[in-house]
Chain A
């Protein structure tokens, strides 16, 4: 017996099919509807929360053990992502464990080094320095730069604290870099900043027109929704580059960069000339059509073909596609928003949707896809350009309403909107703004014309940076660094692109003494001496209730959302959801997919949408003899996010993205320059010259080059042009030349 066992053991040792290494990968049923999960990472509970990267707002089922996140997978039933996630979502927990997390407040000492400190000392320093600046130079000498990356409750707290509590006049957010154009376009056209669609529209359209959008890479889960469209839709991509999305589309229009306004007006003219418009809809729900018709009359096909570089017959073909569709939806992203005339381009898209009656029905709409996870929250509650709740600082009634809801003195509310981001930097340059508080954004990498921006930020008397990481380019410039907890380490809500409010939850412990931004704002309020003003702001959910009250009667009214629990139960809730009138029956659960303007009533007092037009203007920096190439920029891969302060912290995401900066050059240009594939070249603009590896590819057109925005030196090249209406920077067009690097 013993001999046989011994023999078997010996045999097993000779050919070992089980053991600790095999068991390391063992899986078992994960319960909670999960299917098999690694035994090592087996949950005892799960909870769903919204992802903290982009505005898609995917639901992630976080696998918890003893209340702490050990893993996650996309939530099957969440109405946004239907059980899928992009790599950033899958890896959302990894950046929390990074070694460069800020764990204690850091003060810059006399030798210029950052040294660890305490919260008490940090608060004291921040308050004394800021108050000293304000005492000497006036309250407008302090400003803040906020973000689309923190929860709505924190945004509202920051905006209220800075403006009503600390007396600041100016504050803006990094949303200026991604969404300002859409905000202005919608406000002017619809009467309120209201993206009208719901994600089901991707599945309902028979023609989808993407303009300046690359959802395959930038919003993969929205592309998933397109793939689920069962109507064999025509998918049109208008983009100078042959992007992944252009490849997957049925039609690609590789127009000349920044010629979209001419194209859209040319399309409108064809539609008008052919009578391919919805006159009933125009008459019933819009104003300004005659001026629109008169304006686009000048955009005949030969002119538009010359402007866009597209053959006239292809422009006609696109107009016919739009006409042929019963449910046509238009989608745009940064290719439109980050432009010197983006507002008018966005409005030209809206014009097309209005004149063809593609609005308010399933599968239609002029739809801006947002960038950041809570850009939409920022648009309503950041208290920068808009007064809290989508109100107007200049409107006395609005100020009175907000003061009433918050129980504060109306005089504390500024009577004007903040200066825009670029204007705040200008004020710093002029010495008017001397103290700046930057929260969860990285302007020392992301702002346009970076060398200038860097220089401006370095002129501040006192710079406070509040961030998760000590290593961001901006944190490196701070006088005081406040360690913040990140997504997954705190509670609150995000609002996604389709206006869906979803939950963010605390599923991990913040490292060291890092605190949720919410807690930091409480500390600052107390330290500044305005703690009493924020007594009711005791928890994120309490602030959510305040935000609800602020939204009452607005287009974004969310008084019908009872509490966080309801958001959980319903898989997020889209705004608006007003409270049922007093005395009526309790409302049934809201529909899971709701779009705006189904009744054709817009938010202008007359209920009508506006046609808005303007003359196209050439970009401010055109190619020349010395700088013959147009530099385009954009997302590099689905695994990279903005300045990569977080995505670089995941080993998996790092493996899925290029580690070195590269410039895409077309083969004809490469031949003319004598470039070898994959060699290092110098890219020179009037502002800077940087090194990049040449990637010779046909996906960029001759005369154009492309560099992904995630690499810090990229923004050294960009030209600081701004849309005059939205003040959004035009990142995607400047003139450069390429030189072979001297080896």
Chain B
């Protein structure tokens, strides 16, 4: 035995040189293992053999792609005329679920490792006697009225005037992912590595060269073709609600894909993933952004309200009421600027955020960005007007101070507009759980409740002044209490959908809240009840006439404010997470 524990006979056998493989006269002969390892890594044998093969030369010389003979009939001969566009046409009878289209698209377009621009779902139904299943290949529908394009704040989408293809401009994208929420069909795909969204462009460069898109080329059964359609046809079909069973309603975006089948489709066809709802992305930066802007706007508006409605005869520009002076203005600004900072963490490419006003004409996100940008700027002016005494003299200072109430009212009004834009961002997606009533109610609920709590907190932190402070504090606490009870009641009412027999979007939301996200839901309501109900009620009970605001009250109000904000952060997290995705029929998960 050798020192390594290897029997000498064995080890010398595999170390013995393989004479045939070695040039003669080489002094240091490699062992068999070394020889084989070297052979294993050598790729030259193949390249030499193929490089000189006749077939290879022929192929290299070919000008028309070899596959053309299979797809020639699957692409249009002519370009679309005005009022027409290209569209995918899917022969459902030929789609048998092999999913080659997805893989072909991935390989022929060089997508990222896990990126797919096409999916294959499954519908099933019928009866035990006549069972039915139908696989469905789907990608971008190149809609007549693309919601992605409408929502994009930076105009990173364009719908080609001739072909109707909805293209995404990758270098224009800032990675806000709003299009992902806007598209009812879950088409745009976000790449974390690249910080942008990408999507199917119907291989427009291929079509321009009379080549078929990758999916068309890749379908073994020729189930996908490119057709020229009249856009009016797509509009009529969408108005009639005709698209595909189990797919989101087409009237929102007017999709152009045509699903055809000669077979009768049973009315009870359901997507295979119909009953499996999983939590969506939680978007923490957006959660922070939304809640902090609403705290800021709420504080600003409540301050104005407290001063001009509750405060009555207070001299303009002076901090007549506790909690509404310079400290209040600075607090509002800090909240607003933190919110804007948080928002940039949501963007894949924040350096290009300055493009965000391009979409003002169509995008609520552009409008929101504009509104909160203005809110912060006017808020600065308001703060400066309050801090005028400690500022050096500069031209227009008098005007700045004189316009103090305008800055204050203006900031409050712009902020309220901003909160409305925030809500509209989600309303515009046309998802039931983000419809106008819940979105607007939740966002303004947060604004009122946290605004009042913030001012109350600032008030107790300020100099103790006895009567006036107590009176206004009681008012604010009442506002907090009423807002919290209504908002929590509204949120908990979602759970009534659990009893529905139909698996509606709202039932899915409720199921997500009590199943996958039950800890989050529980924490949200605990914090809400603590900060919005128990603490304000206790404070109201303890703040009778003649009671001065003492240390205990300060702690309680501080806790109330922090619990409330934390509760709202969780509520907003749920707003995104317990949000059933809108997409085409999926497969089994």
Chain A residues within CB distance 8 Å of chain B: 14-22, 24-25, 27, 31-38, 40-41, 45-47, 64, 67-68, 71-73, 76-77, 81-87, 89-91, 94, 118-121, 123-124, 127-128, 216-217, 220-221, 223-224, 227, 242, 244-245, 247-248, 485, 489-491, 505-510, 513-516, 519, 522-523, 526-527, 529, 531, 538, 565, 568-569, 637-639, 651-656, 658-660, 662, 666-668, 676-678, 693, 695, 697-699, 701-702
Contact = CB atoms under 8 A, between A and B. Distances in A.
B218 A244 contact: no
A639 B275 contact: no
Contact of A248 (B13, B33, B70, B96): B96
A590 B223 CA distance: 33
Contacts of B15: 120
A22 B103 contact: no
A75 to B, nearest CB: 9
A658 B68 CA distance: 34
B276 A87 contact: no
Contacts of B114: 651-652, 654-655
B74 to A, nearest CB: 13
A667 B589 contact: no
Which of A67, A516, A653 is most buried by chain B, counting CB atoms within 10 A of its CB?
A67
A47 B358 CA distance: 49
Given A34-B65, A244-B97, A569-B55, A509 B37 contact: no
A529 B49 CA distance: 34
Given A19-B171, A35-B65, A76-B66, A14 B358 contact: yes
Pairs A-B, 5 closest by C-beta atoms: A38-B110, A35-B65, A19-B171, A224-B220, A220-B98
A216 B97 CA distance: 7
B107 A71 contact: yes
Contacts of A660: 589
A87 B102 contact: yes
Nearest to B211: A35
A438 to B, nearest CB: 21
A654 B68 CA distance: 30
B60 A242 contact: no
B50 A15 contact: no
Contacts of A24: 110, 170, 194
A89 B99 CA distance: 11
Which of A40, A47, A247, A662 is most buried by chain B, counting CB atoms within 10 A of its CB?
A247
A569 B45 CA distance: 17
A280 to B, nearest CB: 38
A87 B98 contact: yes
Interface stretch (B1-9, B486-494, B542-550): B1-9
B132 A41 contact: no
Interface in B15-49: 15-16, 20, 31-33, 36-37, 39-41, 43-47, 49
A71 B108 CA distance: 8
Contact of A220 (B100, B107, B132, B272): B100
A662 B31 CA distance: 51
Contacts of B120: 656
B172 A36 contact: no
B97 A217 contact: yes
B14 A656 contact: no
Contacts of A37: 108, 110
A84 B220 contact: yes
Nearest to A571: B55
Contacts of A227: 94, 220-222
Interface of B: 4-7, 9-11, 13-16, 20, 31-33, 36-37, 39-41, 43-47, 49-51, 53, 55-56, 59-60, 62, 65-70, 93-94, 96-100, 102-104, 106-110, 113-114, 116, 120, 124-128, 130-135, 155, 169-173, 194, 196, 198, 203, 205-206, 209, 211, 217-222, 272, 274-276, 355, 358, 587-589
Contacts of B194: 21, 24
Contact of A514 (B40, B127, B172, B274): B40
A667 B129 CA distance: 11
Contacts of B272: 695, 697
Contact of A124 (B5, B94, B275): B5
Contacts of A124: 4-7, 10-11
A21 B348 CA distance: 13
A244 B93 CA distance: 11
A35 B109 CA distance: 12
Contacts of B169: 15-17, 22
Contact of A244 (B31, B41, B60, B135): B135
A697 B131 contact: yes
Given A25-B198, A33-B65, A120-B33, A14 B355 contact: yes
Nearest to B70: A83
B503 to A, nearest CB: 8
Contact of A120 (B6, B132, B217): B6
Contacts of A86: 98-100, 103, 220
B116 A652 contact: yes
Contacts of B132: 242, 247, 698
B589 A659 contact: yes
Which of B102, B110, B133 is most buried by chain A, counting CB atoms within 10 A of its CB?
B110
A538 B19 CA distance: 12
A601 to B, nearest CB: 35
A31 B60 contact: yes
B260 to A, nearest CB: 15
Nearest to A39: B110
Nearest to B4: A121
Contacts of A248: 93, 96
Given A227-B94, A227-B222, 12 more contacts: A32-B59, A33-B60, A33-B66, A35-B206, A47-B46, A216-B96, A220-B220, A247-B96, A506-B43, A519-B40, A538-B20, A653-B103
Contacts of B219: 84
Given A35-B65, A71-B107, A519 B36 contact: yes
A695 B131 contact: no
A33 B128 contact: no
24 contacts: A27-B109, A46-B50, A47-B46, A85-B218, A87-B99, A91-B106, A94-B113, A120-B31, A123-B10, A124-B5, A227-B94, A227-B221, A244-B135, A247-B96, A506-B45, A507-B46, A510-B41, A519-B40, A526-B13, A526-B14, A652-B103, A676-B275, A678-B276, A693-B276
Nearest to A19: B171
Contact of A67 (B5, B16, B44): B44
B129 to A, nearest CB: 9
A18 B70 CA distance: 33
Contacts of A41: 110
Contact of B109 (A38, A127, A508, A666): A38
B171 A64 contact: no
A22 B170 contact: yes
A36 B205 contact: yes
Nearest to A21: B170
A638 B133 contact: no
A296 B220 CA distance: 40
A223 B222 CA distance: 12
Nearest to A708: B588
Contact of A698 (B4, B128, B155, B587): B128
Nearest to A513: B37
B112 to A, nearest CB: 9
Contact of A90 (B7, B106, B128): B106
Contacts of A652: 102-103, 106, 113-114, 116
A280 B232 CA distance: 63
A401 to B, nearest CB: 27
A491 B133 CA distance: 42
Given A91-B103, A123-B14, A216 B40 contact: no
B220 A223 contact: yes
Nearest to A243: B133
Contacts of B130: 698
A550 to B, nearest CB: 23
Given A33-B66, A697-B124, A20 B171 contact: yes
Contacts of B37: 119, 513, 515
